[in-house]
Chain A
Amino acid sequence: MSTNLRLFRFASPAAFYPLAGRLVPWFAAVAAILAAIALYLGMLRAPTDATQGDAYRIIFIHVPAAWMSMMLYVVMAFWAAIGWAFNARLGSIVARAIAPTGAMFTFLALWTGALWGKPTWGAWWVWDARLTSELILLFLYAGYIALVSAIDDTRRADRAGALLAIVGSVNVPIIYFSVIWWNTLHQGASVSVTAAPKMASVMLLAMLLMTLAFWAYAFAVIFVRTRAIALERDNHAAWAADAVARAPMRQGASS
């Protein structure tokens, strides 16, 4: 109980700002280390696949990126909903900060999917269930970002975005199953481009580590963005002026 109350201290942008600032370098370091290990395992230690050769190794980025894109959408909807339901400004700010990162991971998943498809199946793009769902997810992110950017009133923008994100989350399973059904109907027995080869344990480990690395990276980037948005929204408040005054002057920074 007391832990809860103590954590709520950080629910205001002013209190969250310094905490996030201290955590960002740690997250960045963790991300770099985990990514290095994951890439080492994936690129060098995992066995070569019998059918796909070495080209399949893109899976160590593709699959974690796809997972991240889906998880971040739900997390974004969650924080936007919290911001709306409890009038918690930090929740809405975090949701807005997540969106570009989520969209980036979606794009990364699509791009690595294309890179995988070319050497394996000869085409830069195939309309298989997973890639098509990722594409639609990209549209959902784009819609959210477009909507909140189009509304000038921050309050209305936050709430409209929250509603859209919630509606999107509810629809994602429906869209996903529709696309799977559509794909099996039209592609018949052809193997999916994104069908992963049999998992040796080292492959699974590499993918999990990469996912954790992506999470750490996401935390770092989202915290940086959250701080920036919080500073912007509260620019007339005392804490913001303090924070800017205390920021270290960088060498060669323009005055």
Chain B
Amino acid sequence: MSGTFAVLVARDLRLAARRRVDVFLPIAFFTVAVSLFPLGVGPEPQTLRQIAPGVVWVAALLAAMLSVTQLYAADHADGSLEQMLLVPGARLSIVIAKAVSHWLLTGLPLVVAAPVFGLLFDMSAPAIGSLVAGLVLGTPVLSLLGGLGAALTLGLRSGAVLLILIIVPLCIPAIIFGAGAVAAVESGLSARGHYSVLGALLIFTAVLAPMATGAALRIATE
């Protein structure tokens, strides 16, 4: 039901526009988290260049997971989610719309902000390029898996921390290949294999995660 999808994404974007400050929270967290590492590890450029891809990916993962609880929580609390679930056959559209909204509001800003952090860590231009390319492929995976976690933990007190615990292990392949792509490019090799794997992960997740998330929503609201 593409109608439901469009209506939902439009509404979520409009709601975000009304709370502009909230939209910047994941980016702010990302900035703070990434900046902590030089403070903790030391400013030596060689070390920073080496840890940069890992740091950016881990911070992106945590930033995405922290903002994902809001994906369903607010709608669940005020009864909107119930009304959405009442539309016949719309469950998959709802799940995909939520993942797309989350990516537009968290993933896409991270992708745009990544080059800046690449510069902070003195990464070379090709390395920054491969960081961004990897994030373009990987952040949607994080949004999709985050949606699954949010649906499983809908309405629970433990919320975000529990979500991080159950979803982060599933995100590990994306981190490995995303950061690995940058490492490959930095050592002069091609990252094409990494992008292929990330692409395959994205397709695999895009096909299976919405079904699982739809089932999780049903389990949580029955």
Contacts and interface: CB of A to CB of B under 8 A. Distances in A.
- Asked if A and B are interacting partners, one says yes
Interface residues of B, number: 27
A37 B138 CA distance: 50
Given A147-B152, A178-B177, A181-B176, A167 B212 contact: yes
B90 interface: no
Contacts of A163: 152, 212, 215-216, 219
Contacts of B219: 156, 159-160, 163
Contact of A164 (B152, B172, B220, B222): B152
A241 interface: no
Interface in B145-165: 148, 152-153, 156-158, 162, 165
A170 B170 CA distance: 10
B185 interface: no
Given A174-B173, A185-B183, A146 B220 contact: no
Contacts, number: 70
Nearest to A155: B222
A139 B204 CA distance: 22
B53 interface: no
Q: Which has the most chain A C-beta neighbours within 10 Å: B148, B170, B216?
A: B170
B169 A175 contact: yes
B168 interface: yes
A167 B148 contact: yes
A143 B168 CA distance: 10
By DSSP majority rule, is chain B's interface helix, strand, loop, or mixed?
A: helix
A251 B201 CA distance: 59
A190 interface: no
A143 B183 contact: no
B208 interface: yes
Contacts of A156: 219-220, 222
Interface string A140-180: 10111011001100011001100110111011001100110
A150 B158 contact: yes
B180 interface: yes
A24 interface: no
A163 B148 CA distance: 10
Contact of A142 (B165, B212, B215): B165
A85 B153 CA distance: 21
13 contacts: A142-B165, A143-B166, A146-B165, A147-B166, A150-B156, A163-B212, A163-B215, A166-B212, A170-B208, A174-B173, A174-B201, A178-B172, A182-B176
Interface of B: 148, 152-153, 156-158, 162, 165-166, 168-170, 172-173, 176-177, 180, 183, 201, 204, 208, 212, 215-216, 219-220, 222
